[in-house]
Structure 1
Amino acid sequence: MKSEIQDLRNDYAALQGEVGGLREEVRELRQDNDELRAVNSKTEERLSEMERKADDLENRSKRNNLIIYGLERNEGETSEDCEGILQDLITDKLEMAGDVVFDRVHRLNSKADSPLITRCASYKDKLQILRAKRKLHGSQISIGEDFSRRVREIRRNLVPRLKQARDEQKKATLTFDHLYIEGKKFTFDLQKNTVIEMR
């Protein structure tokens, strides 16, 4: 009996040593995990900041761009043809002087109903075209600005709120990635998937 009790005591002491070792390993793993979480958090912050900067740069590079929807494609159409079509639209439909200069005009893709995209040589010309686009009301042609994917997604989610506000006879405008309703400023939080009011 004494021998068995001693063996049990020895086994228990060995187990206690193993448990102590496991506890130390768990403590170290927890510490490593906390350090990894901190590194991960910093990495996510950096990535988020880099994405924000890349998005900002993309939108700045598209600052003078316009997209024109509803202009029919001609067979064998070239970039020069596209510029002629756009110049005709500006002089005939928008009733603007034909001295607007474009750096480049082309279709966005090869589809038959592909919109034209252009880069205005002057930001002032772009604004003038945007002001004149109301003359296209009631036609199949529309003109919009070119934005990054993030901004397009935000705008797409703000449009229903814009329409609702206008249906309620409220003054509402959508500018870049912000919606203004009666002096209040809103945006769409893509992570929370909700419209938020900005202060």
Structure 2
Amino acid sequence: MIDIVSYRIRIGMYHKGKRTMTKHNCNGKSYGKLPIGFSCALRVAIFCAITLLILAGDVESNPGPRPTGGTQTRQSTLDEIAREPTLKDILKQMHDMNEEIQQSIAKNTIEVSNKVDNLNRKIDSLNQRLKDIEEENKQIRADNIYLQKQMDIVEAQSRRNNLVFYGFTEEEKETWEISEQKVRNFITDKLGLNAESIAIERAHRINTKTNPRPIIAKFANYKEKENILKESRLLQQKRRKKQNYRKDEHRSVSEDFTRRVRTIRNKLQPKIKEAIENKKRFRLRYDKLIIEGEAFTYNIEKEELVKL
């Protein structure tokens, strides 16, 4: 029989209010002294482990808890990560892309360069053509000016026997005979010439907007026409010397010039007024103004006064 004290000592109970140490035997062998409390806890743990093993049964029939969805997701994520390209692959792809881009840029550069060369050749061709056209235009303008001058000469030849009379009052429904008689009266009364001996082929009003309209008269003899023009110029010089003269005396005679010459003579009027104010001697001959030996004309194309 084992007394209660020995039983308590064996199972690790406290004895007499103190923790005691005991020897544990296994098959009659001693393993040294262990704390009584530890020995009790060890026994409880062993008991629990054996109970769990009995409850678990066979491993094949009870393999354990089934894998959850989270585990499958993690596995698939790991698989995807494994399938992702590595840094080396990425660098290789970037290198290949860079080579493709460089090749494309080089190809496009060559194409653009060829197009630019073609455009430059076309531009050079157009510039040369433009220069040729400009030269042709210059020649055409020069020829046009020459032809215009030749036409003016021919037209002037047809007008060489004409004189234009300004400042003569105009009657209503005035006939050519009336206009001619007014010219003859002026030649006789103001110029002091024998108008009856002067042959006038025709005399009539010119269709202009001025009032009164001037009278153009064509003389049969060129010398008689020049004599009338000379006397009319002397008359104008006498009038300039007068301080005042009657309005009805403000009549003048000029040659019948072409439209171009009339335009030039009108443009020379400011220069004539300047010469008169400065009391300089001048002559206006055809399309030229001569002031004390210096000749001037007006360039219609350039619209400027030219000193000859």
Q: 1:14 to 1:118 in 2, by over 3 A?
A: same
In structure 2, the partner of 1:24 is 121
Shift of 1:143: 1.2
Do structure 1's residue 109 and structure 2's residue 207 form an aligned pair?
Answer: yes
Return the offset for 1:186.
2.1
- Which of 84, 88, 92 is 2:189 aligned to? 92
Q: What amino acid does structure 2 have at the position aligned with 1:47? A: N
The corresponding residue for 1:4 is: 101
Alpha carbon RMSD of aligned pairs, Å? 2.1
Between the aligned partners of 1:6 and 1:75, the Cα distance in structure 2 is 94
The alignment's TM-score, normalised by the length of structure 2, stands at 0.59
Q: 2:252 aligns with which of 142, 161, 166?
A: 142
Out of 126, 130, 133, the position equivalent to 2:225 is 126
Provide TM-score, normalisation by structure 1: 0.87
What residue ranges of structure 1 are gaps of 5+ in the alignment?
none
* Letter of the 1:175 counterpart: R
- Aligned residue number for residue 170 of structure 2: 73
CA–CA separation in structure 1 for the residues paired with 2:102 and 2:277: 87
Change in CA separation of 1:193 and 1:30 when aligned onto 2, cut-off 3 Å: closer
SS in 1 for 2:120: helix
Q: Give, in whole Å, the separation in 2 of the partners of 1:158 and 1:22.
A: 51
Q: Which of these residues, 180, 183, 186, is aligned with residue 83 of structure 1?
A: 180
SS of equivalent residue, structure 1 residue 185: strand
- Give the gaps of 5 or more residues in structure 2: 1-96, 240-244
What letter is aligned with 1:162? I
Residue 288 of structure 2 corresponds to residue 190 of structure 1: no
Rounded to whole Å, the distance in 1 between the matches of 2:294 and 2:208 is 41
The structure number with the bigger radius of gyration is: 2
Identity over aligned residues, as a percent?
A: 32
Q: Alignment length, in residue pairs?
A: 198
Report the 3-state secondary structure (helix = DSSP H, G, I; strand = E; otherwise coil) of the residue aligned with 2:197.
coil
Alpha-carbon distance, 1:135 to partner: 4.0
The amino acid across from 2:162 in the alignment is N
Which amino acid in 2 is paired with 1:41? K
Aligned residue identity for 1:66 = L
Question: Which residue number in structure 1 is paired with residue 291 of structure 2?
Answer: 181
State the shift of 1:117 in Å: 0.6
Counterpart of 2:88 in structure 1 is: none
Structure 1 residue 110, shift from structure 2 partner: 7.2
